[in-house]
Structure 1
């Protein structure tokens, strides 16, 4: 019980440690960058290509064995038709399509030593690549 008297050295140390633990806990729960989720963090690997079009961007990332793609709306907000498609040469396309507010994807395909092609669509406008990353 607090009676208004001065704290001893041990009491100050305990109060200081408690303050530090609470501060670290607060930073862990609401640390920097929590409010924004960047599309780059959705795909593993290094950024390989970005195709900009009127209503958004098609972003491709490449690691050693995989290629990942995501379509991001230029102005997130209302739900609208969006899609992303990624196809390795000689394989079936991986597709994510629907009514989204911010992005379609990510989709990932195995593309070790294979070219890929990608298409991204936001509200009827699209961007695509030919066979790339060969």
Structure 2
């Protein structure tokens, strides 16, 4: 291999490493984007409230929920919970920037109760998907 070929391969390697580093820096900025891939299944309910929205998904016997804030911004208190009738709720509560959850439960053919909150405002579904 002559010196020209070596230089070309080194330049190509440097370009690949630079591109990989750029993608590594850009990817965290896109991490806040929430898609249906966060919860498996199809969306069956949306529970809007003053400061956010709870999205409820179902696939097979599983129910999944995620709370999204209405406005972007800094970290704030958020929560989401899903409870299958006869069981304890599964809760995700904390200070988040993008979303609370997803939380998922196996409900089978039982009703579920979904709750979500952002700041001081919240939504509660009552028993649904019976």
Report TM bin, short chain: 0.7 to 0.9
Please list every run of 5 or more consecutive structure 2 residues that lacks an aligned counterpart in the other structure. 2-19
Task: Quote the offset at 1:67 in angstroms.
Answer: 0.2
| Corresponding position: 1:103 with 2:99 | yes
Cα gap change, 1:123/1:131 in structure 2, threshold over 3 Å: closer, same or farther?
same
Give per-residue Cα distances to partners, 1:45-74, cap 9 Å, x unaligned.
100100111100001000011000010011
1:38 and 1:118 map into 2 onto residues whose CA distance is 22
Deviations 1:56-112 (A, max 9, x none): 000100001100001001112211111001100001100000011111000000011
- How large is the Cα RMSD of the aligned pairs? 2.8
Kindly indicate which of the two structures has a greater share of residues assigned to strand.
Answer: 2
Match of 1:49 in 2: 45
On the 8 A contact 1:39/1:70 being kept in 2, the answer is no
On the 8 A contact 1:82/1:121 being kept in 2, the answer is yes
Q: Distance in 1 between matches of 2:41 and 2:28?
A: 21
More helix by share: 2
Residue 75 (structure 2) aligned to one of 59, 62, 79: 79
Count residues with an aligned counterpart: 126
Q: Which runs of 5+ in 1 are unaligned?
A: 2-24
- Give me the TM-score of the superposition, normalised by structure 1: 0.73
- Structure 2 Cα separation of the partners of residues 113 and 38 of structure 1: 31
What secondary structure, in the 3-state scheme, does the structure 1 residue paired with 2:72 have?
Answer: coil
